[in-house]
Amino acid sequence: MGPVRTRFAPSPTGYLHIGGVRTALFNWLLTQRYGGQFILRIDDTDAERNRTEALQPILDGFKWLGINWDEGPEIGGNCGPYFQSQRQHLYDEAAKRLVASGHAYPCVVTADELRVDRETSEKAKKPYIHRGPRRDADPASNVALLAERRLPIRLKVPVGTTIVLDDLIRGHVEWKADDLGDPVILRADGRALYNFATVVDDAAMKITHIVRAAEHLSNTPLQLVAYAALGEPIPHFAHVPVVNEPNSKKKLSKRDMAKFLTSEIRDKLERIGWTKEQIAARDDLNPATVAFYKEMGYLPASLINYLARLGWSMDDHSEIIDIKTMVANFGLERVNSSSASFDPDKLYWVAGEYMKELPLSEKIAGCLPFLVRAGVLPDQPSPFQLEQLERIIVASGDRIKLFSDILQYGTPLISPVVSYDEKAVNKRLRKDGVAPVLAAFAEVMQTMEPFEPHALEAALQALSLERGTQPSLLIHALRVACTGIEVGPGVYDVLGILGRDESLRRIRSCPAFI
């Protein structure tokens, strides 16, 4: 395959959506494999629906993921994306060329007349297909008319023909031109319509492969007509299947994002330091957007891995694929033509696999901001606090799959105030015989040396044997007494991290003795 140029062209009508990122990733991987260029273009011609506040999260999301675009206008010393709103003159010039060549014409039918025609077709249960009265007029007269009046311009769709596409994912697709009306490509005020602007831009940018969501397949026949009318080579098209909601065959849509912000998700966001007001003000703090995964502490490489595998496979068994291997093996021929459902649990597993391989220093650096934001640690932790954090991360092991997981396992050990889970207390501390065993073990802990996990384990086993109790009775009781919860690092690590004095303070003041 020769040089490849692809583009991703989001509209800033909403935040960076998971399905959109997957499409952008496929474009980026294709260019990376074949040494091409990946272009980011913001399709912001829909002024009524554009949201200024949605643009920066789109750019930030790509930078966080490492999906970098290769060219664009210089903005503040950096390579910025292209904006369709800044390219209007190109669409105007192209439309006028099509009128002069007889491939387009001015629309003289009024909006009211179009509405009546459409309603008549609907009543007759016939598809509405509009072809204007100036369609077959002499091109020179159409040019002269546009010089006198500002009118919409329609593209002339050839009648009696079949429009054909050999899609790289969906295969052979055909449309009958007679089923298509002549679309407006330029409004009377000069603004270009999507199907025309995207063709003009893709041709000007010499895009070789258009990899986009399957929902755009319906736009393709009119775009193919526009390419032919402009005399431009037609790129390769590949329409990737949509991403569905978890356990559903319904598309994961940014229009339905509100329902994904469940009470459970709100609780997670509040635990990492977001207020109710901040959550309400941020549409992108939602599992359907990229920003959510950044805020929750996912490693970007894990999200890249998961999204690439959501519809593409390298072989019949590989799940964890590093980016270099992915680039070396990516191809559209192994992209599925059927949709796939987004699976948060699978993504969480993938995130854990990547976290396992992260160097300890990077885990500490990634976990620390979450503890600071939640107020568990100060902005400038002491050497002791940093050492304690390191020990907690090592003791937590594979339990930490996201950086934000440190709050669950670290907070009970770092915070001096123990927050007791009532269910855990009733189950582990208020059982008959627990208080005497805890008190006895506290006496052992008072003088034992060295105060470290192996010695603590040996002492607990010996005391349990002496008293004829199961070691698990004391293990569970110690964990709840010292942390308030039933899950976390091993209990001997917990005691070692807390140290002798803090462990004894927590044990002797726990609900078992109240």
pLDDT tier for residue 1 given thresholds of 50, 70 and 90:
low
Give 282 or 492, the one with higher predicted confidence: 492
Cα end-to-end distance, the chain, whole Å: 75
254 given a catalytic annotation: yes
**Pairing outcome for strands 82-83 and 78-79:** unpaired
Taking a C-beta distance cutoff of 8 angstroms, is the pair 186, 91 a contact? yes
The pLDDT assigned to 48 comes to 61
At 262, the amino acid letter reads T
Q: How many Å separate Cα 152 from the centre of its chain?
A: 38
Out of 254, 268, 363, 401, the active site residue is 254
Q: Is the pLDDT of residue 325 over 90?
A: yes
Helix (H, G, I), strand (E, B) or coil at 274: coil
273-283: average pLDDT: 86
170-188: average pLDDT: 96
Q: What percent of the chain has pLDDT over 70?
A: 97
Calculate Rg over the CA atoms of the chain: 31
pLDDT tier for residue 382 given thresholds of 50, 70 and 90:
very high
pLDDT digits (tens, 9 = 90+) for 33-88: 999 999 999 988 776 665 666 678 888 899 999 999 998 887 766 787 999 989 99
Closest CA to 288 of 28, 67, 22, 52: 22
The pLDDT assigned to 51 comes to 66
Among 335-344, 417-426, 434-443, where is mean pLDDT lowest?
Answer: 335-344
Q: Is the pLDDT of residue 428 over 90?
A: yes
Q: What percent of the chain has pLDDT over 90?
A: 79
Name every residue whose Cβ is closer than 8 Å to that of residue 512 and which is 6 or more positions away in sequence: 429, 430, 434, 435, 438, 477, 481
pLDDT tier for residue 261 given thresholds of 50, 70 and 90:
confident
Q: Is the pLDDT of residue 436 over 80?
A: yes
Taking a C-beta distance cutoff of 8 angstroms, is the pair 393, 406 a contact? yes
pLDDT digits (tens, 9 = 90+) for 184-240: 999 999 999 999 999 999 999 999 999 999 999 999 999 999 999 999 999 999 999
The pLDDT assigned to 364 comes to 97
DSSP secondary structure string for all residues of 449-470: SS-SHHHHHHHHHHHHHHHT--
Distance CA 126, CA 259 (A): 37
CA atoms lying within 13 Å on the CB side of residue 74 = 2
The pLDDT assigned to 162 comes to 97
CA atoms lying within 13 Å on the CB side of residue 240 = 30
pLDDT tier for residue 312 given thresholds of 50, 70 and 90:
very high
The structure's pTM equals: 0.92
- The secondary structure element, H or E, covering residue 212 is strand 209-213
Q: Is the pLDDT of residue 2 over 80?
A: no
